Structure 1
Amino acid sequence: MAPLVLIAETSIALFVLFRRPTERISMRLGDWLLAATATYAPLLIIPSEEIWPAIEPLAVALVTFGNVVQISGKLFLRRSFGIAPANRGIKRDGMYRFVRHPIYAGYLFTHIGILMVMPSLVNLVIYAIGWWAQILRIDAEERLLSQDPDYREYLTQTRWRLVPGLY
């Protein structure tokens, strides 16, 4: 699992450093605060004494699956990756054929798996705050991207934001 996390986090640093320039980026402070909250809140979780061995294999599978999904999304975006809402080109292939925000979908599965292995009220609250910000972040990104006719067409082709059939 550690190699997946290493790839996931190193790719963020590289893609942000070498990202493609954009003329359409949100300058709204709230959008940047949402991006920061959604990105950094999960770093606040704490180890839990409570362990549920019966669900550990499912939790590990979710964490692994989530990491693979979000890494795939990042590798497909490459230089179009960013933290705050911006338009660096519309992606429609790869994981983006299935959901409009596969990186966030991958994080969702990973976070559910981690919460299953480290269950606590504190961790649940931290993830709830992070995911509240993440949903608002998705709305902010889509508000900015919807100004592009290519993205509006993409919305008709890829219905789901995070999880096909749910959201």
Structure 2
Amino acid sequence: MENIRPLQGPMLGKVLDRAEQVVILLLWVVLVERVIRSGNAYAPLLLLSETAVLVFALIRRPTQAITRKLSDWLLAITATAAPLLIMPSHTPVPQIAFIGVILVLVGNIGQAAAKLALRRSFGIAPANRGVKVSGPYALVRHPMYAGYLLVHIGNLVLFPSLLNLVIYAVGWTAQILRLQAEEQLLSQDDAYRLYREKVRWRLIPGLF
């Protein structure tokens, strides 16, 4: 794809990496403040996956093979920022709250396993920090996003509101487009093309 190519200047790559980390850190601080003020007993569960995103973003390995396309960066920021904007003040339906807790816990285990497989190769904007093919990546090509999906459905059960539904709808529209942008960039790598042939499903086995 013409607009997606490795950065030419190492300094620009470092600036993009650092800018991404600062944005995530600021949004995480705002989320922590909302959780502390919330009267919802399930609010701390919001911090499980989002704190993991922050930690892995801060320790990740820098790369020069990162997208320069503005639309890719906007998609990545939108998909990452949306879950950090969720409002935890709404009360869940008691009869189904346990379903939300289970989805959040299972989803966090899934996304944590994917992050541990990536280790310092984790990133937000589309980039090639190495092709992973083992562990959860042997099941679907984007197991981290699959974990996020379970977490976000669980969060909607625990914090039901029209606002949160809209936030996740916007976030996941960006997430799917971001996923496709990642695959366009990674598909320039022969190793990833071979991996894509072996692992057919991107997010949900048998569906997508």
TM-score by length of structure 1 reads 0.90
Name 1:116's counterpart in structure 2. 157
How much does 1:5 deviate?
4.4
Name 1:43's counterpart in structure 2. 84
| 1:75 aligned onto 2:90 | no
CA distance in 1: counterparts of 2:162 and 2:73, whole angstroms: 27
How much does 1:9 deviate?
4.6
Deviations 1:63-120 (A, max 9, x none): 0001011111111101111111111110000110111111111111000001011111
| 1:100 aligned onto 2:155 | no
Three-state SS of the structure 2 residue aligned to 1:147 is coil
Q: Summarize the Cα distance change of 1:27–1:125 in structure 2 as closer, same or farther, 3 Å threshold.
A: same
Which residue, out of 58, 64, 83, partners 1:23? 64
TM-score by length of structure 2 reads 0.73
Name 1:57's counterpart in structure 2. 98
Deviations 1:101-144 (A, max 9, x none): 11111111000001011111111111000000000000100000
How much does 1:17 deviate?
3.5
Three-state SS of the structure 2 residue aligned to 1:87 is coil
CA distance in 2: counterparts of 1:9 and 1:124, whole angstroms: 18
Name 1:156's counterpart in structure 2. 197
How much does 1:3 deviate?
8.6
Q: Summarize the Cα distance change of 1:111–1:27 in structure 2 as closer, same or farther, 3 Å threshold.
A: same
The amino acid across from 1:137 in the alignment is R
CA distance in 2: counterparts of 1:104 and 1:120, whole angstroms: 22
Question: What percent of counterpart residues are identical?
Answer: 60
Q: Summarize the Cα distance change of 1:12–1:117 in structure 2 as closer, same or farther, 3 Å threshold.
A: closer
Three-state SS of the structure 2 residue aligned to 1:86 is coil
Q: Summarize the Cα distance change of 1:116–1:102 in structure 2 as closer, same or farther, 3 Å threshold.
A: same
How many aligned positions are there? 166
Q: Which range is displaced more, 77-86 or 20-29? A: 20-29
How much does 1:13 deviate?
3.9
Q: Summarize the Cα distance change of 1:153–1:43 in structure 2 as closer, same or farther, 3 Å threshold.
A: same
The amino acid across from 2:142 in the alignment is H
Of structures 1 and 2, the one with the larger relative CO (CA 8 A, separation 6+) is 1
Q: Which range is displaced more, 49-58 or 90-99? A: 49-58
Q: Summarize the Cα distance change of 1:133–1:74 in structure 2 as closer, same or farther, 3 Å threshold.
A: same
